[in-house]
Every structure is written in C-alpha cells, then in structure tokens.
C-alpha cells in the first residue's frame, strides 16, 4: 500500500487556484454523492476535496500538484459505475469531469466527433443522430459520461453487430500522473505504429491517466430497425438458439435474453405487461429479443423471414414483431428498466458482469442458480445473449446485511472460479473497480497481472491515480 | 358468428410533438404517426372476443392515405377486413361529420353485433365518437368498458365491467352494443410474423366521398361540422425552476443567495 499525504491547507489553496473557488469543494462543501457510485454496497469513502475541471490544462496542473505531494486522485464522470471505480478509497482529490461536457465538433468526411469526456452518452447519441450519424456503443446507463465509457471500455446491447467502446476510439488526450499531456491516436482508419497506448488507456479506469479529450468514430445512422421477440418454453432452448442466429448470417444489432422471472418483476414494477408470459396458450420460460437494422423494409422482412424459420426449427413458440413506434418504445423502455425493476423489489444485491463463451451461457446460468440456491440467495439475470455478457444478480430480502455479504462472497468466489474454468472473463463491460479486484488474477492469470502492475508503475510511479482500483 | 367493427385513428405521437415557440402551433413534421393507443386496446378487446366466441372483425379509419398503416396493424393482430375512408372532401371534419361518414362507410359490411372504439384519442381527446356512433348505429353504448365478461349470442345480451372513478360497475347490455374501451385489461398483443407478413400487402378497402353509397355532401367535411376550431395554442407555461440540492439547508440557502445576487435581485 502506498503512503499518501492528505490535502493540507496550502495544497488546497493551490488546487483552488487552479479551478477557482467556485469549482473547488472541500470539507463539508463536498457532497455525499461523491462517496459512492451506483453500487454503494461496496462501501462509501469521502474525498478530501473535489475539483470540477473544465480543461486539459486544469487537469494537468492538478495532477502535477498531487503527484508532487503524493495525494491520491480519483477521476469521476457521472458516477454511474457499478464497481466502485470512481469512489475515492483513499480520500484525496476527486477530479470531476462533468463540466467538460462539450461536443467540440464533427469531422463529417472522416465520420468522427471530437468531444470532452463529460458529455453524456444520451446527449452524444442524440446529437450524432441529428447529424445523420450514429455513435454505436450503447451501454445501459444513458446518463453515464462518454469519458467514463472509454475508461471502462463500456459495451451495451449493440455490441453484437458494432463492437464496444474501444472500437470507436480514434484518438485521446490524456493527462499523465506527472501532469504531462499526451496525445494518442489520430483520425485515421487503421494504424500499425508502435505499441497502442491508446488501447491501453481504453478500459484503464483512470489508473493510468485522465482522459480530457476524445475523438470518436461514428457510423451512418441506419435507415430503420425492427425488433423480434422469440419466446421459448425454457432458458436452455432459448439460449441454444443464439449461436444459430449468429451462424445464419443475419447480422443482428443485438440479441438480448430475459427469463420469466425478470419479465414478471418488470411488469409489476411498471404496471404494464409488455413481454408476454403466455403465447399461443403456452407458458413462456425465457425469450430473446433480436434487433435488426437496415435500409429498407424488404431487407428487414427478409431477415425476419429467416429468423422466423430458424426460430421454428429451434423450438420458439412464435415470432413476435416489434415494429411500430409504440411497441418499440414500450418494449425497449421495459427492457431498459430491468435493473431498476430488480432494485425496486430487492433489499440487498450484488452483481456479476461476466462474459462467457456463447455456448456456455445456459449451463453457466444454471450453475449460478444452483449455487444461489445452496446459499439461500435469489439469483436474477438478464443480459446480452449475443455476446455472452451476463448480468446476474445475487439478491436477498430476508437476510441481515452481514449474513448476506458473507454468503454473497462465497457465491461470487465460486461463480468467478467457474467462469474462469469455462473460459469466461470477470467483466464484460462494467470493469474491475475495487469490487472485482480480488478476482482479477484468477481471470487473467498471474503473469499477465504482474505485467499490468508493471505498466501501472511506469505510468504512475507514485500510485496516485485512482489507487486501490484494477491492479493497484 | 359475431360481426365486429373496430374504429381506429392514426394520431401523432404526442410524446414527440413540439410546439413552435413563435406561432404556438404543433410541429408535426418528422413526428411518427401511431395507432391511437386506446384504439390499440379496443382492437385487443375485439380480438379476444373473436378468439373466445368467433367473429369477423372489420377495422375502419378515416384519414390521409398514410393512415393505412394503422389498419395494417389491426390486420396483423386479427382484423379480417380493413376499410380506409380517405378524401380531401372530409378535411376539417369535426366528430359530428366524422361519425356520420364512418357510420355510412361501415354500413356496407354491417350490421354489427359489437362495435369497439378507444375511449378517446391522444390528439383530439373529445371522447365523442363512441357516443355519436352508437346513436347512428342504434346500438347500446357502454362507455369506459374495462372487461367484457360474457356474451350470450342466443339472448343477444352481454355483461361487461365499466371502470368508474368510484370503482368497477358491472352492466348488462343488449346486442348490438358499442364499447369505448379502457386500457386496463387490454394491453395490445405483439403481432406475430405470420400476421405481419399477411397484413403487409393485404387489400385495404378504400372508400371516398363518391364511393360511399348515399352520402349527403352537406354533412361531410368542414361544411358538415357543427363546430369549428379557430385557433390551437399551447397552454401558457412559466419558466421551469432550478432545483437546488447542495446537500444541506445551510448550503441550499447560500446557493439561493448566490443566485439572487448573480441575477441582480439582491
């Protein structure tokens, strides 16, 4: 553990001078929000001060001061992380990028947009759409910042067709712990120019540097889309269909799965029964929701025709078409509210964000359910069937916190061990933060972990950047 | 077998409609047109009756040619026939003129045992069409119907629940009967691919002012309307407030003072 210094009045004055008194918060002026992210269950930690930054120069000046004085710095966007990634475990300074929320400009000929890190995902998505373009990464939290998305290599539902945030980062401006400013990448389509520090930064969760500007790749906005719901009798049959859909060359944008229990929670939460629980007089145990994009109705109908035929051979009860504005809105609002629906009827919960080979989804879910049963925890799940990224929640309404946490830890350990055994990875899109740090070695291996730690030491010799996260 | 008429309307998705800040009129450009949501519930109610008792369903709408999209929605979930009434002569019709034309055009495929309407539309929200159509069809009228419990074809009676502010009322009505449907128990189903595919190129029966038999030209369009709408304007709105949440009463107070000072009010 590194030894850190606290923010003395002198240092506070220096920091305040960088951002100005109105954007500098110390002591009881620091809001409670800064002590946690969206998983407060992993613990709350108060920073000594918060700097709301507005420029690369300010971030650089702050990091120089903190590095010289060995003061921990935790970068933070909108605070929507799910692993404690933006929680200041060691106090110190929180560098908040929320005010750096400008879309700096479009390079339409090169299909790129230049943005500050505090731009919200929903704002970038809407603005790109107004330019006839699409920013494909689509993480669930639309109010997360794009800087945070890059820092965690966030994924989202469209990953099946378009890939994840990493695939859309062309260039970054990064401030190193020393305060030096580094420009990585260019607005080009490919590169083979030395080690990719750019890709090292993506997903580094603020432990190697602070991202202050980004150039992101865009694609043309698809002309139209349609979603198709395939209901099945049970989860195994449902999941077994996924690789077949991928093999059928249908190029879906997303393939999401949902079990009957989550559909039930969702309808009691919203008061609307959007996803059917009975289709053609048959009970639905699980469903997949497949989305296609295209330029013409004919093109989408052709894909639906093939999916319908495939569904029939794979045991789908029916093929339901979500193509009117009303249905799309209802279905996707309900799908987006799954996590909120679980939270609404759960006292304590922890989550897995594992990613497993697609053919192992069903068996892995069964494994987690069995372990949950063994420990008396309710297991809920939904997720991105198309890429094997599973969001599984261990929940309890009856246990006291300490007992829940004790059982939860046992469950998590077994689930992560099994995940590694079947060739999966610890995190598909939420990152490691501090919540999943202890499981990282088992997922990546001892030597790779050592290499990661060595890289961290090069970038941040004093260990001031987001200490206690990922590998530090 | 029961003969059912479902009356539907295509409306702009009001969630997405914006007001022109200068003229105050609705900007409908680029706003998707949707099946009026309560008409979707009415269609679902009709399909459930068809599934249980057997029926032929005719869906009917009046509107521009593009309104055939909502008829195809009805066909995809179980309507057997779709009628589009479209003609510039029907422009600016109020509910009086509209119900006259709809009833006249629907006669061709009647008489109907049951007629379903949504309780009201998103855009006009007059809620008058159901009552006017019941009068024109000479049928019983059950407004705010939330659940059809039983249909006795032999006795020409039915039992239905009505949703009232004070509770649920169970009523018996004679057939023919017109319902204005509540959304409570009739969440529209998601159509299946087979239905969508069949509906995609299915024939839409189109009727104009000249092809509806016996239509009185003085009773249609603006001329036939009993009301006129001289102006549409948005309700006056005050500026939206600013939420102050600084974490404590003292800090909130300080922030208020700061804002007041900034705006020169103190």
Give the tokens for residue A160. 């099946």
Which B residues in the span 18-77 are in contact with A, Cβ-Cβ below 8 Å? 32, 34-35, 37, 40, 73, 76
Enumerate residue ranges in chain A where pLDDT < 50: 1
Are A122 and A175 contained in the same domain?
Answer: yes
Give the tokens for residue B25. 């009129």
Judging contacts by C-beta atoms under 8 Å, the chain B residues touching residue A29 are 251
pLDDT mean over B1-10:
95
> Is some CB atom of chain B closer than 8 A to the CB atom of A321?
yes
Are A354 and A323 contained in the same domain?
Answer: no
Give a yes or no: residue A32 inside a domain: no
Are A271 and A309 contained in the same domain?
Answer: yes
Where helices occur in A194-286 by DSSP H, the ranges are 197-201, 235-247, 260-270
Whether omega before A384 lies within 30 degrees of 0, making that bond cis, reads: no
Q: A288: domain range? A: 224-339
Give a yes or no: residue A93 inside a domain: no
- B107-132 per-residue burial string, b: 16 or more CB within 10 A, e: under 16: eebeebbbbbbbbbbbbbeebbbbbb
Are B261 and B176 contained in the same domain?
Answer: no
Query: Are the CB atoms for B2 and B148 separated by under 8 Å?
Result: no
User: pTM of the entire structure?
Assistant: 0.85
Q: Is the pLDDT of residue B126 over 90?
A: no
Residue A15's alpha-carbon distances to A49, A54, B189, in angstroms, are 9, 13, 59
> Is some CB atom of chain B closer than 8 A to the CB atom of A29?
yes
> Is some CB atom of chain B closer than 8 A to the CB atom of A272?
yes
Give a yes or no: residue A427 inside a domain: yes
Q: B254: domain range? A: 238-266
Give a yes or no: residue A439 inside a domain: no
pLDDT mean over B227-239:
75
**Predicted pLDDT at A88:** 97
Give a yes or no: residue A39 inside a domain: no
Q: Is the pLDDT of residue B21 over 70?
A: no
Are B246 and B117 contained in the same domain?
Answer: no
Beta strand pairing status for B177-181 and B114-118?
parallel
Q: Is the pLDDT of residue B14 over 80?
A: no
Query: Are the CB atoms for A468 and A438 separated by under 8 Å?
Result: no
- ∠B261-B263-B264 over CA atoms, to 5°? 60
Give a yes or no: residue A24 inside a domain: no
> Is some CB atom of chain A closer than 8 A to the CB atom of B107?
no
**Predicted pLDDT at B265:** 85
pLDDT mean over B62-83:
96
Give the tokens for residue B195. 């239905």
Query: Per residue, what are the HEC states of A271-334?
Result: CCCCCCCEECCEECCEEEEEEEEECCHHHHHHHHHHHHHHHHHCCCCCCEEECCHHHHHHHHHH
Burial (0-12, 13-18, 19+ Cβ within 10 Å), B265: exposed
Are A265 and A329 contained in the same domain?
Answer: yes
**Predicted pLDDT at B150:** 94
Looking at per-residue pLDDT, the higher value among B17 and B157 belongs to B157
d(CA B126, CA A251): 46
Are B261 and B130 contained in the same domain?
Answer: no
**Model confidence band, residue B23 (pLDDT cutoffs 50, 70, 90):** low
Number of domains composing chain B: 2
Are B70 and B138 contained in the same domain?
Answer: yes
Instruction: Flag if B73 and A308 touch (Cβ within 8 Å).
Output: no
Judging contacts by C-beta atoms under 8 Å, the chain B residues touching residue A225 are none
* Chain A: residue whose CA lies nearest to B183: A272
Q: Is the pLDDT of residue B36 over 90?
A: yes
Give a yes or no: residue B230 inside a domain: no
* Closest CA–CA distance from residue A321 to any residue of chain B (Å): 6
Strand order through the sheet with A24-26: A24-26, A49-52, A93-96, A73-76
Of A305, A319, A327, the CB nearest to B192: A319
Give a yes or no: residue A64 inside a domain: no
Are B253 and B205 contained in the same domain?
Answer: no
pLDDT mean over B190-214:
95
Are A329 and A276 contained in the same domain?
Answer: yes
**Predicted pLDDT at A166:** 97
User: Which of A267, A273, A319 should we substitute to test contact with B (largest number of B Cβ atoms within 10 Å)?
Assistant: A319
- Choice among B22-36, B76-90, B172-186 with the minimum mean pLDDT: B22-36
Are A265 and A214 contained in the same domain?
Answer: no
**Predicted pLDDT at B125:** 80
Q: Is the pLDDT of residue B218 over 70?
A: yes
Number of domains composing chain A: 3
Instruction: Flag if B35 and A326 touch (Cβ within 8 Å).
Output: yes
Are B61 and B173 contained in the same domain?
Answer: yes
> Is some CB atom of chain B closer than 8 A to the CB atom of A317?
no
């Amino acid at each position: 553990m590194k030894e850190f210094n606290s923010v003395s009045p002198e240092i506070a004055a220096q920091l305040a001078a960088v951002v100005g008194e109105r954007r500098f918060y110390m002591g009881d002026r620091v809001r409670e929000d800064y002590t946690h992210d969206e998983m407060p269950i992993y613990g709350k930690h108060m920073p000594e001060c918060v700097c709301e930054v507005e420029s690369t120069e300010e971030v650089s000046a702050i990091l120089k001061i903190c590095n010289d004085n060995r003061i921990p710095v935790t970068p933070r966007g909108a605070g929507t992380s799910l692993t404690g990634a933006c929680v200041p475990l060691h106090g110190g300074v929180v560098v908040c990028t929320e005010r750096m929320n400008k879309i700096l400009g479009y390079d339409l000929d090169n299909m790129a947009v230049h943005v500050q890190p505090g731009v919200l995902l929903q704002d970038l998505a809407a603005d790109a759409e107004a330019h006839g373009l699409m920013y494909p990464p689509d993480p669930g939290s639309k109010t997360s910042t794009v800087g945070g998305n890059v820092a965690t290599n966030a994924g989202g539902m469209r990953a099946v067709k378009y890939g994840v945030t990493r695939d859309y980062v062309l260039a970054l401006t990064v401030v190193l712990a020393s305060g030096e400013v580094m420009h990585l990448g260019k607005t080009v389509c490919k590169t083979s120019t030395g080690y990719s520090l750019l890709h090292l930064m993506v997903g580094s969760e603020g432990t190697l540097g602070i991202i202050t500007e980004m150039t992101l790749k865009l694609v043309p906005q698809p002309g139209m889309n349609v979603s198709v719901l395939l209901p099945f009798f049970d989860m195994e049959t449902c999941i077994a269909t996924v690789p077949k859909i991928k093999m059928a060359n249908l190029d879906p944008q997303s393939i999401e799965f949902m079990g009957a229990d989550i559909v039930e929670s969702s309808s009691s939460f919203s008061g609307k029964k959007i996803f059917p629980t009975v289709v053609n007089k048959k009970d639905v145990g699980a469903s997949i929701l497949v989305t296609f994009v295209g330029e013409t109705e004919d093109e989408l109908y052709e894909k639906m025709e093939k999916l319908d035929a495939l569904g029939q051979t794979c045991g789908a009860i029916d093929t339901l078409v979500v193509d009117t504005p009303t249905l799309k809105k209802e279905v996707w609002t309900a799908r987006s509210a799954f996590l909120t629906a679980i939270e609404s009827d759960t006292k304590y919960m922890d989550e897995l964000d594992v990613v497993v080979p697609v053919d192992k989804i069903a068996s892995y879910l069964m494994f987690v359910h069995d372990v949950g049963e063994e420990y008396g925890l309710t297991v809920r799940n939904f997720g991105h069937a198309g890429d094997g990224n599973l969001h599984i929640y261990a929940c309890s309404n009856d246990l006291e916190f300490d007992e829940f946490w004790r059982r939860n830890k046992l469950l998590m350990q077994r689930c992560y061990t099994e995940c590694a055994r079947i060739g999966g990875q610890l995190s598909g899109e939420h990152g490691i933060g501090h919540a999943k740090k202890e499981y990282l070695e088992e997922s990546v291996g001892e030597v790779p972990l050592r290499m990661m730690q060595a890289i961290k030491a090069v970038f941040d010799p004093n260990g001031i950047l987001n200490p206690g996260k990922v590998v530090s | 077998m029961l003969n059912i008429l479902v009356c539907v309307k295509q409306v702009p998705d009001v969630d997405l409609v914006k007001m022109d800040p200068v003229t105050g009129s609705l900007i409908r450009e680029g706003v998707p047109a949707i099946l009026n949501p309560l008409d979707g519930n009415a269609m679902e109610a009709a399909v459930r009756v068809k599934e249980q008792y057997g029926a032929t369903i005719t869906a009917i709408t009046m509107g521009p040619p593009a309104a055939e999209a909502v008829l195809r929605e009805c066909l995809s979930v179980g309507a057997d026939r779709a009628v589009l009434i479209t003609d510039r002569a029907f422009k600016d019709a109020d509910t009086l003129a509209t119900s006259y034309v709809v009833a006249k055009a629907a006669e061709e495929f009647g008489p109907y045992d049951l007629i379903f309407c949504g309780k009201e539309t998103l855009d006009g929200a007059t809620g008058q069409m159901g009552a006017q159509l019941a009068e024109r069809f000479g049928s019983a009228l059950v407004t705010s119907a939330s659940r059809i419990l039983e249909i006795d074809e032999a006795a020409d009676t039915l039992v239905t629940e009505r949703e009232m502010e004070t509770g649920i009322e169970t009523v018996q009505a004679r057939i023919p009967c017109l319902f204005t449907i509540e959304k409570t128990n009739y969440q529209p189903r998601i159509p299946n691919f087979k239905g969508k595919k069949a509906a995609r190129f299915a024939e839409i029966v189109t009727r104009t002012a000249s092809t509806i038999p016996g239509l009185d030209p003085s009773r249609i369009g603006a001329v036939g309307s009993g009301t006129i709408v001289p102006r549409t304007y948005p309700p006056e709105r005050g500026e939206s407030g600013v939420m102050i949440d600084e974490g404590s009463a003292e800090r909130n107070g300080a922030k208020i003072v700061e804002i007041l000072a900034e705006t020169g009010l103190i």
